[in-house]
Amino acid sequence: MEYDDILSIVKIRIIKAKETIEDARLALESNRFRNALNRIYYAIFYMISALSVKNGYSTSKHKQLMGWFIKNFVSTGKIDTVFSNIYKRAFDRRQESDYDDVLEFDKVQVELHFKDMLSFVTEIEKLIEQK
């Protein structure tokens, strides 16, 4: 794949992440916590996906992408472990919100996840802009 093509894909995925942040914000404001948690995770997923493409890696598998990120950025010290924890929590909450019919979420809890996601996305965007 050519460099310009890679940059285009990276930009598209960043745009998807930012649109998804807005979706999460709207869901949170509407007290649709399950939907908000789903969108919070996907904002992170799209941003990590952009980072991976920029670095020559691509997968549609969520766990593989997380493993790639931890191996190449957390384990190497390029990014603080707090960000892998945010990523893992977002993944777990998304799983719970999508598949656990009886689990309830409260606004304060989801707002915390939203705030964490915003700091995560900001940090990953800095990594993407490097090089």
For the record, the structure tokens of 130 come out as 């490097």
pLDDT surpasses 90 at 74: yes
**Rounded CA gap, 111 and 101, in Å?**
21
Domain count for the chain, please give it.
Answer: 1
Average pLDDT of the chain? 94
Identify the helix (H) or strand (E) that includes residue 88.
helix 81-99
Task: Give the pLDDT confidence score for residue 14 in this predicted structure.
Answer: 98
pLDDT band of residue 82 (cuts 50, 70, 90) is: very high
Task: Give the pLDDT confidence score for residue 104 in this predicted structure.
Answer: 87
pLDDT surpasses 80 at 62: yes
Which domain, by its residues, includes 25? 3-129
Find, among 42, 51, 36, 37, the residue nearest to 17 by Cα: 42
Encoded amino acid at 14, one letter: I
9-37 tens-digit pLDDT: 999 999 999 999 999 999 999 999 999 99
CATH code for position 86: 1.20.120.330
- Between the alpha carbon of residue 131 and those of residues 51, 62, 76, 79, 126, the distances in Å are 12, 25, 17, 15, 10
Task: Give the pLDDT confidence score for residue 130 in this predicted structure.
Answer: 87
For the record, the structure tokens of 45 come out as 């997923």
pLDDT surpasses 70 at 131: no
How confident is the model over 54-58, as a mean pLDDT?
Answer: 94
pLDDT band of residue 1 (cuts 50, 70, 90) is: low
pLDDT band of residue 46 (cuts 50, 70, 90) is: very high
Find, among 43, 36, 48, the residue nearest to 84 by Cα: 48
Q: What is the pTM of this model?
A: 0.94
Encoded amino acid at 121, one letter: V
For the record, the structure tokens of 39 come out as 């969108």
pLDDT surpasses 80 at 81: yes
With b for 16 or more beta-carbon neighbours within 10 A and e for fewer, the 91-129 pattern comes to bebbeebeeeeeeebeeeebeebbebbeebbebbeebbe
Residue with tokens 């598209």: 12
